[in-house]
Amino acid sequence: MNHYTRLQIKGYEDVVRCDNSDVGFTAWISIHNSNRGPALGGCRVWNYDNKDEALIDVLRLSRGMTYKNALARLPIGGGKSVVHTDITTVNRAAMFAAIGDFVETFDGLYIIAEDVNSTLEDMEIVKEKTNHVATVGASGNPSPFTAYGVYCAIKACVKFKLQRDTLDGLTVAVQGVGETGGRLAELLYKDHCNIIATDINQENLQRLAGRVDFQRVPPAEIYTTGCDIFSPCALGGILNEQTIPALLCQIVAGSANNQLLTDKDGERLHRRGILYAPDYAVNAGGVINISCELGTQYNREKAKKRTSRIESTLLEIFRTAKQRSRPPHVIADCLAENLFSLRAAA
C-alpha cells in the first residue's frame, strides 16, 4: 500500500514522497513549474546510495525538465518521478502498478513517461491505473528522437566552433551507449565519424559492436581520450572540477541530464575554450516527440522536423553567448526562464 508525504520545498510547486514497504520502494514525484502546462517528465528507477540522494536527483531532474520544455517552446511544464529500489529484485509489475496509483493522485498535473530503467512495457502497466501517461501512444519509444536531437546539436556545435558543415572524419567519444547513446553512435558512424565508446554495461558495448566499428576505452579513461567531441550520454554530474581539466576535446554535447555538477563548471569549460551545449537544449528530442501526441493526432515527420530545430536553437544560444561574452549555459538559462515566466504573466 502506498503512503504519501507532501514535502514543502522552496522553488517547487509540489513534491510528494511515496513509501510502499509491501512492494519495497520509495518514490518521489516533483512538479517544478507548470506555468506552460501540466508537468511532463519520465520515471527514473535507480538503487541510490540513500534516500536523500534520490530526493536531490528528482529535484534536479524536474527543474531540468522545466527548462528543457520551455526552451523547446512546448506547452508543458517540468516534472519528474524517481523510484528508489533494487530493480533486479523488486516485483516490477507490482511496483509500476503502485506508481500508476501515485501518478493518479496528481489528477493530470503530472504526466509520466519512460526513463532510465523504465520501459514502454512498464508504462503499459502504469496506464492500467492512470490515463496520465505518455510514450504508450503513437509516439512510442522516445530514444530515437533523443538521439536524433543530439545529432542535430552536434551539427550546430561543429558549425559554430569548427566552422564546418559536415562531420566527416571527426572523432566523437560517447560516454554511455545504451538506448540513446547507442543510437547516436550509429547516426554519427553513418556520417563518417570515428567513434570512441565506453559503458559500465558490457552488454551495451556488445550490442553496438554488431552495428558500428568503434574503439573501446575503460570508463575512467573517457575523460582523457583525445577527440573532437565528447558526448556524455549516461548519468549527470560528470563535468566537474576533477574531470574538466582532463578533457581533450573542443566540444561537449550529449544526452545526459544535469551534466554540470555546478554552474561554476560551465564557467570552467568556457575558460578552457571548450564549447558546451547545454544538456537540456541538446536532449529535448524525446520530449518533443512525446508532445506531438498530446491532445492531437501523432505525426512522425512533424515530430522529426520539430526535433531538428534543436540545431537552430543552439546556434542562437552560441551566437548570443559570443556577443555577450558569457558561457552558453547562462544564456540558455536566461532564455528558458523568460519563456516559462512569460507564460505565467500571460
Q: Exactly one of 10, 51, 80, 322 is catalytic; which is it?
A: 80
Measured distance CA(130)–CA(71) in Å, rounded: 28
| Residue (of 272, 256, 195) closest to 228 by Cα position | 195
| Residue (of 330, 323, 315) closest to 267 by Cα position | 330
Measured distance CA(81)–CA(17) in Å, rounded: 10
Contact present, 68 and 49 (Cβ < 8 Å): no
Measured distance CA(35)–CA(339) in Å, rounded: 10
What b-and-e string marks burial along 186-214, b requiring 16 or more CB atoms within 10 Å of the CB? bbbbebebbbbbbbeeeebbeebeeebeb
| Residue (of 163, 284, 321, 315) closest to 228 by Cα position | 163
Q: Is 80 a catalytic residue?
A: yes
Measured distance CA(177)–CA(184) in Å, rounded: 8
Contact present, 195 and 213 (Cβ < 8 Å): yes
Measured distance CA(244)–CA(259) in Å, rounded: 11
Beta strands in 130-220 (DSSP E): 171-175, 194-198, 215-216
- Give the number of C-alpha atoms closer than 13 A to the C-alpha of residue 36, restricted to the C-beta side: 27
Catalytic residue set: 80
